[in-house]
Structure 1
């Protein structure tokens, strides 16, 4: 069963001599597909997460680039740093055991993210408690001021 972080869709069938041809995308097509700006895509390219081919001044993105962008955006939503995303993507590209290493590293990063979220949740609970205490004291002082005036 394909893993949603590693699944690379099969190239589309074509009339090429090899029988297979990858779908290509322009930067505007990818931007529209993922609802991001072309500037975002260029940023990820500068960061080494995407490597489009060039036809003159035009960037040409392959299915591999599309999947890498999808993984990058998903990783950002999950709170991964660009370095963590790059590491996971590069592990997959490192074949032949890249998929196994990638999945193990993903599990490590996910465990770290969960622990970080638990710490943040506890911090938020403590802050809420402190806010409640301050609010209660302010209301008491306000009531006392109203009673004496």
Structure 2
């Protein structure tokens, strides 16, 4: 009986330890994503340049492009990501790849017009040399406001 109880205790403790390990990586990615939204709002292209992988891709309602065009768009104010109101976040880490989904309302200035749109944003990060790099940022416009 003691062996069974000890076995159950070790199994539960091992499961909790494993989940804690996953949640640490999840929390790291969630924090990085939130910081990215702040850097985008502040038009901090120097920091974003180091976050975005050289081969990164960005998918918007009006098209898709690579890192340099995204940085130029942010710097020039072609799209000013003023505020991302985050409603839900989920993360899945697979080896050195993290997939983060954000359900947001994005307040932005596009072409001189202030607009708010509900999006599901897909962010894919790849860990390289101990650092997370953003590989994909994709906006999918939702047909209804963010769950309201």
TM-score surpassing 0.5?
Answer: no
Instruction: Give the structure with the higher percent helix.
Output: 1
Task: With the length of structure 1 as denominator, give the TM-score of the two structures.
Answer: 0.23
Task: With the length of structure 2 as denominator, give the TM-score of the two structures.
Answer: 0.23
The structure whose RCO (Cα within 8 Å, separation 6+) is larger is 2
Instruction: Give the structure with the higher percent strand.
Output: 2
Larger radius of gyration: 1
